Structure 1
Amino acid sequence: MTTLPNTAVPNGTDLPSRLVDDHGRSINYLRLSITDRCNFRCKYCRGGPETPLIPHADVLRYEEMLDLITVVSELGVRKVRLTGGEPLLRRNLPWFLGAIRERTAGLESPLDVRITTNGSRLAAMAGDLARLGVQWVNVSLDSLNPQTFHEITGVDCLGDVRRGIDACLQHGIRIKVNAVAMAGVSEAELPGFIDFAKATGSEVRFIEFMPMGENSQWSEANYLPSRLLLDQARELVSLTALDRKDTGGGPAKVFRIDDGPARLGFISPMSSHFCGSCNRLRITSDGRLRTCLFSDKEYRLRPALRHPALGPATVKHIIEMAQRGKPLGYEILQARQMQQSVARKQMSAIGG
C-alpha cells in the first residue's frame, strides 16, 4: 500500500469514515450529479460537439438518489454536493432537499449538503434553499464582463447570475465563486473578482483548466497555471495564506485578502496535484460511480438500485469495493500528457 501525505482535514466532521482506500485516504465527500442537462454551453465544459443527453429513463429518480445518500452516509460520508449539468434545472429540487434532511436527520453528525450552480436560476430559489438548510452555494462564474461572459457560456444572463448571488447573500447563504482559469481571460478578470470578493465578503477560487472530454478545448495556449495568477494577485492586494484546517479542507490553497473576510483560492489539479488528500467520490446522474475525476473507470449502481433482489445493500458493497482501488489522478494525467484529453466524458456528463 502506498501511503500518501494527508494534507487536508475531513470536510465537515472529525468522525471516522468506513471508506479508506488502498492509499490510506479517508473518503467522506460525495459529489452527486442530479442531471446532465444544462442551459449554458461553456467552452471548457461543452465546447466540442454535443454529447448525447442521458435518456430520462436512465436518470436516477430522487428516491434512488435518497437511497444512495443513505448508503454513503452509513459509510461515513458527511458532505454531499449536488451538481449537474445545472442542478437547478431539475424539477422539484426543494422537495428533494427536504427529503434529504428527513432521511439523514438521525445521523450523529448532520449531513452537509451544498450545491454548485451556474446561478442563472438562483434568484428565484434562494429563499427555498435557505429555508431547507443550505448554508453554502458555489456559483460557477468565469467573468464579470457581460461580453466575455457571453463568449464563454454562450448565453447572455450575467445579470441573472449576479441577482442570484445577491439573493443568496440576503438570505444568509454563503457564496463561493468558482472561475476556470483561462489564459487571456482570467488575468483581466482578476482585479474585478478581488473587488467582488471584498465587497461581498465571499471567496473566489480559480480552478486550472483541465483537459476533460474527447473534444476538449484545452490547449497549452489557453492553460493558465495558478502560480501566475497568484503572483498577479500579490501585486494587487495583501494576501495571507490560511491553514487548510481553517478552510474546511479540500484542494484549494486559500488566502485572506487584506485582513478582511474576503478570500482568494487556487485549485491546481494540473500544476500541483492534491491526490494525497483527495477524499471524494462522484456519482453521475445515471448512477455511475467514479472514484477519480481523471479515470474513465465507472461502476454501475443503477442496475443494483432497481433490482428487487439487490437494492441498497448491494450498492453499499459495490461502493466499498470500488473505493479501495481509487487511483491517483496525477499518475493518469502524467500517462496521458501526449494526448489532449484526460477523460473521455465532458464535465457536464460527469458532474464536476
Structure 2
Amino acid sequence: MTSPLGFYQAQLKDAPVMYELLAQAGIEVPRSRMICVPLNADYHDTKPSAYVYDTHITDYGDSDCRYDLLDVAQHWCGLPFTQAVALIARLASITAPWEFDGTVRQACYQRQSPRKTAADPNDYATLAMRCEEAFWAQATCAAEAAATYLIGRGLIASALHYRLGVLDSTVTAQPPSSTWRGMITFPTWDHGRLLALKGRNLLPKDSGRELRNLKGTGTSVYGLDQLRPGTTPVLVVEGETDVLSVWEAFKGEIDVVGIPGAPHWRCLAHPALDGRPLQVCLDLDEAGRTAVEQARRWAVDVGRPLRVLDGVGDKNDVLVQQGPAELRRRLKTAAEQTQRKIARRLA
C-alpha cells in the first residue's frame, strides 16, 4: 500500500488548490494575494507578508519561509499527517486511500502589535506594506501605470521578489509628502526590519526622473534580506534597479546587493557582508570609477577580498535592449576576465 508521503509526492504536491485549502481554515485571500501567517503556524505576523501561489505560500517577512500544501494542511489547519493528505486529495478531486474525517482548525491571529516609539524607523514599515498591497491589487490607475513602467524595464518578477509597491490613493498610511503620490516604492528589509525606503516617479531618464529617500529610515545596502546563508561571493552593483535587473537575469542563482549610489561604497562594511568575497560592478561613469578605486583601497586596508568587474555598464539598459541572456553573458565574461587577470599576476 502506498504511504501517505509517497501518495502526496506522486499525485498531490503540485495540485493548484492552495486557495481552497486556506478557505478550509477561514483564511480569505485578497486580490493582492498577501496574507498574514496565523498564530497556529510555526511563525505568525501581524502584517501581510506571505504571498499565496496556487501550490505554495512564500513568506517574505520575518520568517522567510516557504509553505507547501502539506505544511498548510498540517500546521495551519491543525491536521494529523494522514488527514492532511486526505483533505488535499479531496480538494484536488483525487481519490485517496484514506477518507477525510478530521476537523480543520480555524486560523487566528495576534490582535495587537507591540507599541512603537515615534523614533522607531519601523513606523514606516506600515507605509511600505500598504504600498506593496496597493501595487499587487492593481485597483487604481497609478498602480497600473507603475506595473506598465516596471514591465517596460523588464522588472515585474523581481518587483514581487523584492516587495516593491506604489503609493496610490488606496494607501491609508500617511505619505511623507504629496510628491510621493504615484511613486513606486523600494523598501530595504533586513530580517523583517525596514532599513530604508525609496520612491521613484515614472518619468524616463533626462525627463525629470526623481528618486527620493524617505527621511528617517536611513541609507542601507539594498537586497540584504535576499542573501543566501554561507560565504558565497556577493555581486555589488549600484542602485535598486541594477539589483532587480541582475535578479531578473539570474533568477536568484547569485547573491547580489546594491549600494545606494556610487558615493556610498562605505555601506559595504555592513555586518551582513562580513566574511563574503565582494565582486564590485558599478556604472562606468566617473563617479562609479572613483567609488571602485576607493572601495579597492578600503578592502586592502581592512583585509577584505574584493574584485572589480569591468565593462558591463548600465545593467537595466542591457536587460531591456538585449535581454537577460546577454546580461548574464556580460557579467560572467567580466568575472572570467578578472579571474584571468589575477591568475596572470600570480603567475
User: Same fold by TM (over 0.5)?
Assistant: no
Q: Give the TM-score normalised by the residue count of structure 1.
A: 0.25
Higher gyration radius (CA):
2
Higher helix content, 1 or 2: 2
Q: Give the TM-score normalised by the residue count of structure 2.
A: 0.25
